[in-house]
A and B are shown apart, each in its own frame.
Chain A
Amino acid sequence: MADRIPLLELKNVSKRYGGIAALTGVDFSAYAGEIHAVLGENGAGKSTLIKIAAGVTDATEGEVLVEGKPRHFRSPTDAMQAGVVCVFQELSLLPDMTVADNLSMVAPPTRGGLIDTKAQRTRAMELLKRVGCEDVHPLELVKNLPLSRRQMVEIAKALAKRPKLLILDEATSALTAKDVERIYLIIRELRDQGAGILYVSHRMHEIEALCDIATVFRNGRKIETFRKNERNVHQIIQMMIGREVTHHYPPKPPFQADRAPALTVANLSWGRELSNVSFTAGKGEIVGLGGLDGQGQRELLLAMFGVLRGVEGTVTIDGQPLSLSGPKQAMNAKLPMALIPEDRKVEGLMLPMSVRDNLTLASLPQMRSGLGIDGRKEADAVKAMIERLQIKAPNADDPVATLSGGNQQKVVLAKWLMTEPGIILLNDPTRGIDVGTKQEIYRLLRNLAAEGRTIIFYSTDYAELIGCCDKVLILYDGRITRELKGDACTEHNLISSALNVETVSGEAA
């Protein structure tokens, strides 16, 4: 087996974005006829690895070999021509074009130099049939398809290129169980025909069910490659998160059922995404939002902050009704609200602007003197906040883009702490940041709660919810299906309620 030539081989590959290392000295091989799982936490370097393999980005150092030959992909087209095809997590379909167009984007069937739409359509129907999407009309526009169908079309598009190495990056996140079975079937078929498959997923059971071999990444380094059944789930999780698993959460006070209510949400509904959500959060309480990804948690936070239009139901803050008409109203509520948004690059920060400008953006009204901004007051407040959160920024005038991911996230938090909020909504705030900063954030949250602030905390990481929250609301399909209080917040309960089953048989991952 050692003398087989790998389909894809990375030798000592490193990638840095600015000063931040995304991959460090990675050696990695993928062989034909194998399904290879790529595992790791967010920010572990999986997506960078894939991007390099698929020609989306260049390695800073190291060599990429395809079938033993050194290759330097300048674009995804180069990679495709070499037989490496990727199904990206952020879909690469063109929304304004038809399914048939999308499926034959690069090398459409032609007649006399012009695209043969009839042949293209036949081809589209064959491909759709292969992935079990006969219900999708080839002339439908991609933007009119539901997300799960789009993902299937994306996979069909990759199949059309007859890949030697197929890379699937979280390709099943929006699929129904039936579609997933279909995909498994196709993947196994491809493997048996001699193709190689790289499979990135967070779902442990998927990997168990499907993969022959797996590689774990952590903090941009390869930890280990092992064959199926050589490691158990527990060991794999150990590898993914490193040694410190249990000790990084600050101690929780005992659960108090009789807190004074700070935030009361009643019958909040928004389209199909939220239906009749009601709950109460007390002063000084950390309330987690749990459940599978995409069950309405983000929409709930946005709705409370006034970002969504046409929300029904009421939000009451410390006894006063809140107008859900915009962030400004939410920030001026009796207990001022703050929202730490999901995507810090698009919703949280202005990357080219200075740390100072970012920090004070939400609290400019407090810095006012006369018509202008009080420069001294501002500088003092910025300095105090940088010290309080220990933001590692050489200079407050430096662009935020030059900071590391963890420090950027601290800037977002600090920006909102400057508004002295009474209610803090957090939308997955620890995604893609290092463990050290995560721990600082956990401590910060506990301290803020101890000061009497209310925290609503959505996280995709169950361990985080268990470690930080006084109670956890589980959302499923836009409704709160369960409320886990105090000691009831266990991994077992969290997962079983997330999947909306009363009991899970067997071992919970």
Chain B
Amino acid sequence: MTFQGVAQRIGLDVPVAVAFGCIIVLLLGGSLYSREFLSPDYLLQQLQVGAFLGIIASGAMMVILLGHIDLSIPWTVTLGAMMATALSGWIGPVGIWLAIPFGLLCGTFIGVLNGIGVAYLRLPSMIFTLGMNAVVQGLMVLHTGGFAPQDHATDAMHFLAVKRSIFGIPNALFVWMFVGIIVILLLRRTAFGRSVYAIGNRESVAYLSGINTNAVLIGCFAFCGACAAFAGVLLAGYSTKAYQAMGDAYLLPAIAAVVLGGTNILGGRGNYLGTIAGVILITLLQSILSVMQMPEAGRQVIYGSVIIAMLLLYGRGAKTRT
């Protein structure tokens, strides 16, 4: 098999290669600033932080591959964290065991609602999920204001998010790997995955080919909701408690990571290797900017500019003329 063949098989196309190239440049550039940047400890630390983003981006990617977008991610993250931490306060000690599944379930539920809005009501996903975000926000404000029995993370959440059980590798990284493997298997090995790409390319073709496109849409949105909530659960474990607006900082990075990894924002094209590259790239970029003590203002500007610049390199649409 030729090199090209191998590259194609593992999903290494131009955008992915560019993204990995940028990661190496960032690391080398960083190492000029401080040798710390190449130490295993620093890298593992980055991967641990990146894992949260990686999980969110996994879900976001499924939705983006469909040609849709989920803007309810921020408050779904918060929802996952708040519901998981609150459960033991509501139902007593059993809640400690059910905390994580419950958080995931809540996120999935929001995802299903999003999916129904997009699939059956045929509303633009961007608008519907934006509205859903506002509703969940309203619910969470109400929750923290009046009904939250407690907001502390359980030991299991702490364990998954912070501890390093095997060879000093962060558990969060294993969690991301687990989610990542699910996504890869789904996309590459199942009829569901094929349907996702097919819908992203042309939903009418998928429909005429006998695919239940509405079910696939709802499935992907549900998965995205579950991922966002799961990340919320872990974030609560990481910072020991759930708090308002904790997911706000993750929407743009998650979408950016997916798109920088070569997934077409209009759907139908992209692979998970790219999303991994995108997540690492974004995480490193954030880390380097903060190590360099770049103020938040500069970070935001660089951040937005990098995304635009990279997309201009390979994410452009077709011309009107042929």
Contact = CB atoms under 8 A, between A and B. Distances in A.
In the complex, A touching B (Cβ < 8 A): yes
B190 A373 contact: yes
Given A327-B208, A346-B202, 10 more contacts: A56-B321, A328-B210, A328-B211, A348-B208, A350-B198, A350-B268, A352-B268, A353-B198, A364-B191, A371-B190
A88 to B, nearest CB: 14
B191 A353 contact: no
B163 interface: no
A417 interface: no
Interface in B205-251: 205-212
- Interface residues of A: mostly helix, strand, loop or mixed? mixed
Nearest to B268: A352
A361 interface: yes
Contacts of B207: 326-327
B234 to A, nearest CB: 26
A75 B190 CA distance: 45
Interface string A299-342: 00000010100000000000000000011101110000001010
A307 B191 contact: no
Contacts of B208: 305, 307, 327, 339, 341, 347-348
Given A364-B191, A372-B190, A373-B194, A353 B206 contact: no
Nearest to A302: B208
Interface residues of B, number: 24
Nearest to B190: A372
A353 B201 contact: yes
Nearest to A17: B322
Given A346-B202, A361-B206, A353 B268 contact: yes
Contact of A357 (B8, B197, B321): B197
Most buried by B among A327, A331, A365, A367: A327
Nearest to A365: B191
Contact of B197 (A353, A371, A375): A353
Interface of A: 17, 56-58, 75, 305, 307, 326-328, 330-332, 339, 341, 346-353, 357, 360-362, 364-365, 367-368, 371-373, 375, 397, 415, 419
Interface in B270-322: 321-322
Interface string B189-205: 11100110110011011
A368 B189 CA distance: 10
B194 A328 contact: no
B85 to A, nearest CB: 33
Contact of B209 (A327, A353, A368, A372): A327
A57 B210 contact: no
Query: When A and B form their complex, which 6 residue pairs have the shortest distance between CB atoms, in order from nearest?
Result: A350-B201, A372-B189, A364-B191, A362-B209, A331-B210, A328-B210
A56 B322 CA distance: 8
A362 B211 CA distance: 8
B8 A347 contact: no
A361 B198 contact: yes
Nearest to A331: B210
Contacts, number: 78
B209 A415 contact: yes
A350 B202 contact: yes
A28 B198 CA distance: 43
A57 B210 CA distance: 36
Contacts of B190: 371-373
B191 A373 contact: yes
A347 B205 contact: yes
Contacts of A372: 185, 189-190
16 contacts: A57-B322, A327-B208, A341-B208, A350-B197, A350-B201, A350-B205, A350-B268, A352-B268, A352-B269, A353-B201, A360-B194, A361-B205, A361-B211, A372-B185, A375-B189, A397-B8
B255 to A, nearest CB: 21
Contacts of A351: 201
Nearest to B207: A327
B20 to A, nearest CB: 22
Most buried by A among B201, B268, B269: B201
A315 to B, nearest CB: 17
Contacts of A360: 194
A360 B193 CA distance: 13
B191 A367 contact: yes
Contact of B201 (A58, A307, A352): A352
Nearest to B191: A364
A463 to B, nearest CB: 28
A375 B191 CA distance: 11
Contacts of A350: 197-198, 201-202, 205, 268
Nearest to B185: A372
A373 B205 contact: no
A371 B185 CA distance: 10
Contacts of A349: 202, 205
Nearest to B205: A350
Contacts of A365: 191
B122 to A, nearest CB: 13
A57 B321 contact: yes
Nearest to B202: A350
Contacts of A326: 207
A368 B191 CA distance: 8
A309 to B, nearest CB: 13
Contacts of B321: 56-58, 75
B212 A328 contact: yes
Nearest to A369: B189
Contacts of A368: 191
Nearest to B322: A57
A373 B202 contact: no
